Structures are given as structure tokens and as C-alpha cells.
Structure 1
Amino acid sequence: MAESSTISLKLLIDTHGKRVLFAEAGKDFIDFLFRILSLPVGTIINLLRKQEMVGSLANLYQSIENLNDSYIQPNQTKDALLKPVSPVSGSVPLLAINDAPAAAVKKFYRCTCSQFAAFVSDDQRAVCPNCSRKMTTSMSYVAPPGGQQVSDEGGFVKGVVTYMVMDDLVVSPLSTISSITLLNKFNVKEVSSLEEKVVNFGVDEAVKLLNASLQSKKVLTDVFLEGMIGIKQWQFANAFERGNLDS
């Protein structure tokens, strides 16, 4: 996904309670949320270092960056810790544009002493115990039968439905009944206090959401309402546009 790409979300906002009740979201946003669980700690710290991180993990990250390569084992690299590869395959909306390296394809090698290799290595520098030659002949990996069918959609969830994302990131398929139940749960008495707002979710918001998800139970509110002029002023502006203000 290009850095300028965004995902569109529809928020239902309780203007009296100054909170986002939930967001209506499609497959892309849900795939992004679920993929957060697969991100290595090093990747998360790299994304959040410019934010005000709570705790000392950022100091560990900085220490590795500052450490001279002469102190690193010859078979290790800093990027293994600073830019680790996620174990989950597939594209990642938004966060994929960062500098995490692409997962390398695992390769295996044998020597040339026999058509039927008795010894296999994943390093071309290895020496065959049988003929003492380096094992440089590439071998093809054959997957076992009965593998699961891969969807053309990709990602984690299906895209045939709209999903509901709560302020605390609880995710479920959207339904009319669940929406009504939610209004009762939050004791929303006046429908007039509810506002719909369509927002764009891009890279900046993705990093803010990641940061808020580690610290808050009102993630959507923190990401989308924080920094506004103020919910009252925003409500005033909406009412003015609709011509509902008293003279």
C-alpha cells in the first residue's frame, strides 16, 4: 500500500459523552487491527519511538542502534532485532510501508556428488560430509498435499460484511440489533446527541492507534477526537451547517 493511501471509516460519536461509540469498518481496517498482534516488539518500538512512549523499551532499541558493529556476533545483524520480520505472511495495510525487510525465501542446498542428496544444508558454505565439496546446488521445496485453499482476497477476514469496531477495539460483524443493544448499554437517551462522521485512516492514524492500544481503553476516541477544537465547538459547527441553531 502506498504511503498516501488511506482507509475510510464511519464513526458514530456521542457528542454529549465526548466519545466514539463505534466505527463501521471494512476488511482492510480489520485486517490491519488483527495484524497488530503479529508485529514483533522491535517493529512496534520502531513505529512508536517518535511518540511519547511509556517505559524503557525505547532505550533498549536505541542502545542496539548505537552499539558498534564490532560488538555484534559475526552471524548476527542489528536488523534482526531492530527490523524483525513478522511471522505472519501476507500484506499489511498501512504498516507495511515501513522499513521492515521482506521475509526471505528459505533455500536449501546439496552437493553434486549424488543426484539423490543424503545431506541438505541451508547455507552454501557448508561442506558435504560424503565428498567434502561445498553444498551449492539449489534444491526445490515441495509442499505437502492437501494444503488449504488461498483466497484471492488475502488478509485475515472476509470482505463480504461490514464490521463494528468498538472504542476499546472489540471487533464483531455489524448488525442493526447489535447497534441498538450498544446504545442501550451506553445509556444513550437522546438520538440527537449522536453524530456520524466519516474519517480517513492513514499512516499517522495507524501509529497513533498502535500507541493508544497499548495504553488506553478508548482508542478510537483518543485517535480521532483528541486534538479537535472541542466536541462542543464541533457539535456547534454541525448544527450551524444544518441550520438548527436558535436565533
Structure 2
Amino acid sequence: MTTKTSTKTNNLSMKLLIDTKAKKVLFAEASKEVVDFLFTLLQLPLATVVKLLTKEDAVGCLGNLYSSVENLNHIYMQPNLSKDLLLSPTILGSSPSISGLLPSASGMITPKLYGCTNSNCNTISDVCYSRCPTCTTYYMSKEMTTYFKGRAATAASQSNNNNNGFVKEVTTYMIMDDLLIQPMSAISSINMLNKQFNVKNVGILKDTVVQLGINEGLKILKTCMEESGMVLTRVFLDS
């Protein structure tokens, strides 16, 4: 068995319970930070997933869809829409765990804002090349970098319960191989070993602590989108 780790110094960690005979993860014991990260994956639009995995590694034909939009001349788009609406969708209120486990994610969770090209107009929009709704003769194509950063910082500070993630820290969580998550208890763990996994010989069980960093975060993202009920096994045990 080869346990894969990352070089990032502030990785999260979780404890795996492994069936050494079947060579699979039965479940993991994890903190709220790990659960926050996994729940964050539900917030990711498909275009962001393609960016994170790269077009070549995207599941199915998602990479081709992304390339089609990317290569399409904007003159074929509706006049009030920008390709950024599809290629760089906005994610608000993301878990703070995402920044440490998905590369360049911080640049993907804030919207681009555009100002009217009329210097006397202060209208702001998130749709590039649309006609200004205020002066009606100019277009929204001036990227508002400074304004955007200020608004993004304000939105981030107000969102997601003051950046405290999604779940409480009062308990440890059990993560199944297929990413089913529930609060952990000794009784539920014993019942699961007896009834669900039918473990008769505890000698075949082994626990090990693994690191969860950027490499593992990306592998989890990709594997959980595939038709697999063994996400943790594939990410941490498969060599």
C-alpha cells in the first residue's frame, strides 16, 4: 500500500480505517475542516471544475464544451451576455478550506465587474459588452479592478457565517468511501463494521493517518465526479 502525501505544510489530515484484506477504505475519521472542504465541492460550477482539473483531465466532454465557448467569437453571443458568464461563473460564500486545497481557487470565487465606457456614467455590471442600462448608448466593457476587489472583499467577509465554514466543530465526522458523511460515534462505528461491512476478524483492520493537500483535493474532485463508490480508496490507496 502506498499512501500519497503532499509537500504543502498546512495540509489537513484524517484517519482512515482500512480493510487490508479487501484493500479498501471502510471509512475515515475527519475534522470539520475536511468536511467543509468536501461540502465546498457542491458549490463549484462545472466551468470552475474544468478550470481546476484542466480541460484535458475534465470528466467526459466537459473540456470540449469549455473549449467551444472559449474559442467562440463574442459576436456570436447574445449582445447582453459575456462569455465570462459561462467560463468564469461566480461563487459566493465559499468555505475557507477551498483556498488551501484547490489551486488558484481564490481567483475563481469572485465576479468580474465592468463599468460603462462613458466616463460620466458610474453604472457597474457583471456582464461584459452589454449595453449600458443607464445611458443606453455606451457599453459595459471597462473592467473595474479596484471596485471589484473592494466589493469582493466585502462579500467574502459577510458570507458563510464569518468564514466559519459549514459544519460545527463540536464533533468528529465519519466519511464513507463513497463520501457519505455523518457525525461519528463509537456505537455507529461498531454497528457499521458488524452489519454493513460484515467484519468478523478485526485483525484485518488497520488505521492510518493521511494528509489532505492540493494534490489530494484535486484527485477527490475528479474521482467523485466519476462513477465510483470508492473515492477514498482510489485517492489514498491506489498506487
TM-score (norm 2): 0.70
Aligned partners of 2:91 and 2:110 also within 8 Å: no
In structure 2, C-alpha distance between the alignment counterparts of 1:18 and 1:59, rounded to whole Å: 35
Match of 2:104 in 1: 97
Rounded to whole Å, the distance in 1 between the matches of 2:162 and 2:109 is 24
Distance 1:169 1:150, change over 3 A: closer
8 Å contact 2:26–2:177 — kept in the other structure? yes
Residue of structure 2 equivalent to 1:110:
none
Give unpaired runs (5+ residues) of structure 2: 1-6, 116-122, 126-131, 137-157
Hey, what's the Cα distance between the residues in 1 that align with 2:163 and 2:91?
20
Pick closer, same or farther for the CA change 1:152–1:57 going to 2, 3 Å: closer
CA separation of 1:18/1:69 partners in 2, compared to 1, >3 Å: closer, same or farther? same
Whole-Å Cα distance in 1 between the matches of residues 63 and 159 of structure 2? 40
* Number of residue-to-residue matches in the alignment: 197
Q: Distance in 1 between matches of 2:160 and 2:184?
A: 25
How much does 1:95 deviate? 2.7
Per-residue CA distance 1:42-95 (angstroms, 9 max, x = gap):
111222236644421210111222334454556544332222122444534223
Partner Cα separation in structure 1 for residue 69 and residue 36 of structure 2: 31
Residues 1:89 and 1:16: Cα distance change in structure 2 (over 3 Å): closer
SS, match of residue 91 in structure 1: coil
Equivalent residue letter for 1:172: Q
Query: Which residue pairs with 1:164 in the alignment?
Result: 174
Larger radius of gyration: 1
Deviation at 1:10, TM superposition (A): 0.7
Distance 1:151 1:88 in 2: 9
Provide the residue aligned with 2:72 in structure 1: 67
Describe the shift of the 1:106–1:194 C-alpha distance in structure 2 as closer, same or farther (beyond 3 A). farther
Give the letter for the 1:201 counterpart.
Answer: L
Say if 1:160 and 1:178 are closer, same or farther in 2 by CA, change over 3 A. same
Aligned to 1:196: 207
Identify if the C-alpha distance between structure 1 residues 189 and 170 changes in structure 2 by more than 3 Å, giving closer, same or farther.
same
Give the stretch that moved more between structures: 96-105 or 192-201. Answer: 96-105
SS at 2:15 equivalent = strand
- Assess if the C-alpha contact under 8 Å between 2:12 and 2:212 holds in 1: yes
The one of 216, 229, 232 aligned to 1:217: 229
Check 1:50–1:192 CA distance in 2 against 1; reply closer, same or farther (3 A cut).
farther
| Mean CA deviation greater in 3-12 or 154-163 | 3-12
- 1:1-247 to structure 2, matched below 5 A, reads 4=8, 5-49=10-54, 52-72=57-77, 75-93=80-98, 94-95=101-102, 97-98=104-105, 99-103=107-111, 126-127=134-135, 151=161, 154-184=164-194, 185-215=196-226, 216-227=228-239
Is the contact between residue 12 and residue 196 of structure 1 (CA under 8 Å) also seen in structure 2?
Answer: yes
- Paired residue type of 1:167: D
Q: Is the 8 A contact 1:51 1:211 kept in 2?
A: no
Could you tell me which residue of structure 1 aligns to residue 140 of structure 2?
none
Aligned residue identity for 1:221: T
Look up the equivalent residue of 2:176 and give its one-letter code. M
Query: Normalising by the residue count of structure 1, what TM-score does the alignment of the two structures yield?
Result: 0.68
How big is the alpha-carbon RMSD for the aligned residues of Structure 1 and Structure 2? 3.4
Match of 1:231 in 2: none
SS in 2 for 1:13: strand
Separation (CA, whole Å) in 2 of partners of 1:58 and 1:74: 25
Shift of 1:17: 1.2
**Percentage of pairs with the same residue:** 46
For residue 45 of structure 2, what is the amino acid of its counterpart?
P
